């Protein structure tokens, strides 16, 4: 499977590596042509404001929204979760998202960088050691959204249809269970 990783800003190289370690072919996506060549898309960690501005400037915002509406599989970590959320608290004025998951996220919900942490959480019923960096959490969940993990009494991993979002960074640790879940449970099931 060809897996696109949106490569505008952030830790896209780690998602590229995670993808190839799971046995799939990663493609860095910066153009519509590259987007149209892949079977699934990953939105990396980074600065959500920077990524959405670049996506808008280079004509990727609407094509990605269209893909999402058509049921295309997309996974977003951290900034990627913000980009997949239908609604944001504490964004900058008029901050846009690709949307698609019926959730409200709070940016930097756990605090500033000094509050960033690593921790053991449950993901899809299994223990996972992972990293939260200036991470968002989910403030409100719509009816069609499945919660896969929680931390500090808030959802931190959610799925709606073929869309998956985590507020943590599985790409920064060696554990590939979240990527495998995306490829095996979501992409292949389509």
Cβ neighbours of residue 81 under 8 Å, at least 6 residues apart? 105, 136, 138, 158, 165, 166, 167
Give CA–CA dist 151/132, Å, rounded. 10
Taking CB under 8 A as the criterion, the residue among 3, 4, 5, 14 binding other proteins is 14
Does residue 54 interact with other proteins by CB under 8 A?
Answer: yes
Residue 161 Cβ vs other proteins, minimum distance, rounded to whole Å: 27
Binding characters for other proteins, 84-103, by CB under 8 A (x = yes): ------xxx-----------
Nearer to other proteins, 79 or 187 (CB): 79
Identify the sign of the CA torsion 106, 108, 111, 116: positive
Of 78, 154, 179, 187, the catalytic one is 78
Residue indicated by tokens 């490569």: 7
Residue selected from 30, 65, 87, 176 as contacting other proteins according to rule CB under 8 A: 30
40-43 and 74-77 strand pairing: parallel
| Helix/strand number for the chain, H first, E second | 6, 12
d(CA 123, CA 59): 34
Active site residue 169: yes
- Residues forming the site for other proteins (CB under 8 A): 7-14, 30, 45-47, 49-50, 53-54, 57-58, 78-79, 90-92, 107-108, 111-121, 131, 133-134, 151-152, 169, 172-173
Catalytic residues: 78, 169, 171
């Amino acid at each position: 499977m060809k897996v696109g990783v949106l490569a505008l800003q952030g830790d896209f190289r780690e998602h590229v590596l995670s993808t190839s370690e799971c046995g799939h072919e990663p493609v860095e996506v910066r153009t519509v042509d590259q987007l149209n060549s892949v079977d699934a898309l990953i939105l990396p960690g980074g600065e959500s404001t920077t990524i959405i501005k670049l996506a808008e400037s280079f004509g990727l915002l609407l094509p990605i929204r269209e893909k999402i509406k058509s049921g295309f599989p997309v996974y977003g970590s951290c900034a990627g979760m913000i980009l997949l959320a239908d609604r944001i608290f504490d964004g900058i004025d008029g901050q846009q998202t690709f949307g698609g998951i019926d959730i409200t996220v709070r940016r930097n919900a756990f605090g500033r960088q000094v509050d960033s942490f690593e921790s053991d959480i449950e993901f899809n019923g299994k223990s996972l050691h992972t990293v939260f960096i200036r991470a968002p959490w989910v403030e409100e969940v719509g009816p069609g959204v499945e919660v896969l993990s929680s931390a500090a009494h808030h959802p931190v991993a959610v799925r709606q249809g073929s869309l998956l979002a985590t507020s943590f960074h599985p790409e920064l640790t060696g554990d590939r269970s979240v990527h495998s879940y995306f490829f095996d449970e979501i992409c292949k099931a389509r």
